[in-house]
C-alpha cells in the first residue's frame, strides 16, 4: 500500500525545554501537550508549562523535516488564565482556543471559560456564558470541535453524556444519555483517565476508542479494539459499532486522527506495558474494517505523544 506514505509523515519536534522541566505528578499520564491546527495555518502546542506555535504558512511538509525550538514562537500565558488541561479550538474562524475549567471537581456551580484569540494574540478571561455543564463536569477530559458548526464536544463519564459548548455563542448544552445497554462499555472507553481517544468523521459521527485500563484496579473483559462507541452529533444518538479486520490489541496513550478520505489512523501507545504492536493501524470508517498499513520510513513506536492532521499529513510530536 504505497499510498500510505503520502498520508503519514512525521514532523519531529525536538524538545529542549520541556524535558528539563518537571511536570507536577497530578498531570502525569496522557500527553503533556495537545496540538491544534487553526484556520490560519498555525500549529499550536499547548502544555501546562509551555505554549507555542509553528507557522506552517511558509513550511513545506513534503518530506520528513526537523523543526527545532528556534522555530517555535512562544505565546505568553495570561496570569489570570485557568490551567485547563484540555483546551479546544473554536470561534467564527476556528482560530480561538478555549479553556473550560471547573473551580472544584464534581460540581458545575463554578465552571468558567477563558479564550485565546490566535489571530489577535489576545486573551479573554471568564467569558459570560449561557447555561452550564452537568453536575459532574470533569475539565481534564478531551474535547473535539466540529469546525463547521463551531461546537465542541466532551464525553463525560457521569452521567454518561456529551457536554456541548457553542464556541460562537458561548452556550452550554448536552447530548442524550448513553443508552443503558451501552453503559457497561463506558468503563472501557473511559478507563484511561485522560481518554478516550476520539475522532469526528465528516458524517458527523464521533468515534470513541477504548483504552487499556490505566490502573490495575480496573479490569476489562476485552483485549482488543473491536467495539467502538459512537455518537452522532446530527441525530443525537448513540451506537456501539463492531469493527472487523486486523483488530488492534487494546492499548493506552495512543493517538487517533481522521483523514479527509474517511480513514482513522491510530498510532503508538502502550499495550501490556510494552510498545503497542503494530504501532500504526488504520480503520476504514465506511465499513469499520481495521488494517495494518505497510510503512515507508517507519517512525517506530511512541507513547504519550500528540498527533494531528494537517492537510494530508499526520503530524506527531512529543511523547516518549
Ligand atoms: C513567508 O516567507 C516570505 C518570503 O520568504 C516572507 O516575506 C514572509 O514574511 C514569511 N511569512 C511568515 C509568516 O514567516
Ligand atoms: C489579572 O487580574 C488582575 C485582578 O483582576 C488584574 O489587575 C490584572 O491586570 C490581570 N492581568 C492580566 C494579564 O489580565
Ligand atoms: C467569573 O465571573 C463571575 C461573575 O461574572 C464571578 O462570580 C466569578 O468569581 C468569576 N470567576 C473567576 C474564576 O474569575
Ligand atoms: C466481565 O466479566 C465478568 C466476570 O467474568 C462479568 O461478571 C461481567 O458481566 C463482564 N462484563 C462485560 C461487560 O461483559
Ligand atoms: C473502505 O470501505 C469502503 C466501503 O466498503 C470501500 O468502498 C473502500 O474501498 C474502502 N477503502 C479502502 C482504502 O479500503
Ligand atoms: C445531565 C444533564 O445535564 N442533562 C440535561 C441535558 O439537557 C437537557 C435539555 O436539553 C436537560 O433537560 C438535561 O437535564
The pLDDT tens digits along the chain (320 residues) read 222 333 333 333 333 222 323 333 333 345 678 999 998 899 999 987 788 999 888 777 776 566 777 788 999 888 777 777 789 999 999 999 999 998 776 666 788 999 999 999 999 999 999 999 987 888 888 999 999 999 999 998 877 899 999 999 999 999 999 998 887 777 666 666 677 899 999 999 999 998 887 655 555 556 788 999 999 999 999 999 999 999 999 898 899 999 989 999 999 998 888 999 999 999 999 999 999 988 777 777 888 889 999 888 888 888 88
* Residue 95 contacts residue 117 (beta carbons within 8 Å): yes
* Residue 98 contacts residue 88 (beta carbons within 8 Å): yes
The residue extents of the domains of the chain are 179-305
Residues 6 or more apart in contact with residue 186 via CB below 8 angstroms: 157, 160, 178, 229
Task: Indicate the top mutation candidate among 180, 221, 242 to test ligand 4's pocket, ranked by most ligand atoms within 8 A of CB.
Answer: 221
Ligand 1, residue 57: give the atom nearest the CA. Answer: 13
Whole-prediction pTM = 0.86
Ligand 3, atom 1, lies closest to the CA of 126
**Ligand number with the minimum distance to the CA of 259:** 5
**Ligand number with the minimum distance to the CA of 124:** 2
How far, in Å, CA of 152 to CA of 114, rounded? 14
Is the torsion defined by CA of 271, 89, 103, 27 positive or negative?
A: positive
Q: Residue 284: CB within 6 Å of ligand 5?
A: yes
Q: β-strand 237-242 against 122-124: which pairing, if any?
A: unpaired
Q: Residue 68: CB within 6 Å of ligand 1?
A: no
CATH architecture of the domain formed by 179-305: 6 Propeller (2.120)
Torsions phi, psi for 25 (to 5 deg): -55, -35
Residues 6 or more apart in contact with residue 273 via CB below 8 angstroms: none
Amino acid at each position: 500500500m504505497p499510498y500510505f506514505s503520502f498520508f503519514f509523515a512525521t514532523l519531529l519536534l525536538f524538545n529542549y525545554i520541556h524535558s528539563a522541566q518537571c511536570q507536577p505528578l497530578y498531570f502525569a499520564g496522557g500527553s503533556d501537550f495537545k496540538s491544534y491546527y487553526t484556520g490560519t495555518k498555525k500549529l499550536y502546542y499547548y502544555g501546562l508549562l509551555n505554549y507555542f506555535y509553528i507557522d506552517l504558512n511558509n513550511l513545506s511538509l513534503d518530506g520528513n523535516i526537523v523543526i527545532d525550538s528556534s522555530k517555535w514562537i512562544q505565546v505568553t500565558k495570561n496570569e489570570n488564565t485557568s490551567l485547563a488541561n484540555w483546551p479546544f479550538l473554536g470561534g467564527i474562524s476556528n482560530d480561538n482556543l478555549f479553556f473550560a475549567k471547573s473551580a472544584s471537581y464534581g460540581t458545575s456551580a463554578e465552571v468558567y471559560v477563558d479564550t485565546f484569540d490566535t489571530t489577535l494574540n489576545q486573551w479573554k478571561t471568564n467569558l459570560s456564558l449561557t447555561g452550564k455543564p452537568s453536575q459532574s463536569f470533569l475539565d481534564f477530559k478531551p474535547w473535539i470541535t466540529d469546525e463547521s458548526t463551531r461546537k465542541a464536544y466532551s464525553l463525560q463519564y457521569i452521567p454518561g453524556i456529551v457536554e456541548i459548548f457553542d464556541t460562537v455563542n458561548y452556550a452550554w448544552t448536552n447530548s442524550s444519555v448513553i443508552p443503558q445497554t451501552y453503559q457497561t462499555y463506558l468503563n472501557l472507553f473511559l478507563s484511561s483517565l485522560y481518554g478516550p481517544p476520539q475522532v469526528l468523521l465528516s458524517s458527523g459521527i464521533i468515534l470513541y476508542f477504548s483504552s487499556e485500563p490505566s490502573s490495575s484496579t480496573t479490569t476489562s473483559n476485552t483485549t482488543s479494539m473491536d467495539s467502538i462507541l459512537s455518537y452522532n452529533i446530527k441525530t443525537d444518538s448513540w451506537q456501539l459499532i463492531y469493527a472487523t479486520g486486523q483488530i488492534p490489541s487494546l492499548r493506552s496513550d495512543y493517538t487517533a486522527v481522521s483523514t479527509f478520505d474517511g480513514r482513522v489512523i491510530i498510532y503508538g501507545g502502550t499495550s501490556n506495558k510494552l510498545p503497542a504492536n503494530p504501532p500504526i493501524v488504520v480503520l476504514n470508517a465506511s465499513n469499520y474494517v481495521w488494517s495494518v498499513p505497510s510503512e515507508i520510513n517507519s517512525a517506530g513506536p511512541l507513547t504519550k505523544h500528540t498527533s494531528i492532521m494537517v492537510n494530508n499529513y499526520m503530524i506527531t510530536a512529543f511523547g516518549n
